[in-house]
Chain A
């Protein structure tokens, strides 16, 4: 048990960070239950202010119960950008400490009232995107099946039926996991063998990719010696 806690948006974020943590031996934090469940209507368009506030109010109880020292918040840039997501965090932390201001990502801010440090990191690739965008960037195997979706996307565009980058990345990931990342035998049990959790146990990702540098640097700051 660590005295540091990382808040993540979704179950997939949790699975990914747990796997990445194995690569960072000095990272000292536990990952909390995701802020959003699959049935949360408040999270349908990404992490909302309401959902983050509720999560932080729950964590506020944990500060005293678990003696927490550091609380990190990991959220997607989505198409809103890093600045907007930091603003969301700043608005949300006011629900547990009116005096606290979070004005930048990857920076620890001390709450005197709660006797705890709080920070955030925004998952992004070139300033936008989410976990799926990051995963797409760090894939380490041939992605012939998934990449053909680009032609499909162009076809949609030509026919006036656009798909958002977010939806495309999710779709790309599903195809990569199932058709590029799974054997024929595994595909017969695709539900169990070709999901993200199973993929993280395979050699499908490059955890030393430069796209992860900011994130790994941030996760190391949980270390008390930092």
Chain B
């Protein structure tokens, strides 16, 4: 086995290790512990809209910069 293949395998093992860790974290926190009351739902909805708006603004800035 040459050095290139060995390196590739090692990188593959590291990446798959990371993917496993992320999957484990996602599984651990799959269900939000907080009760989804109307106030919580509204707050989370507000945050989603806020973030979408910011992303649109950042995109617009990027677009005007490259024009």
Chains A and B form a bound pair: no
Which B positions have Cβ atoms within 8 angstroms of A?
A: none
* Residues of A near any B CB (own CB < 8 A): none
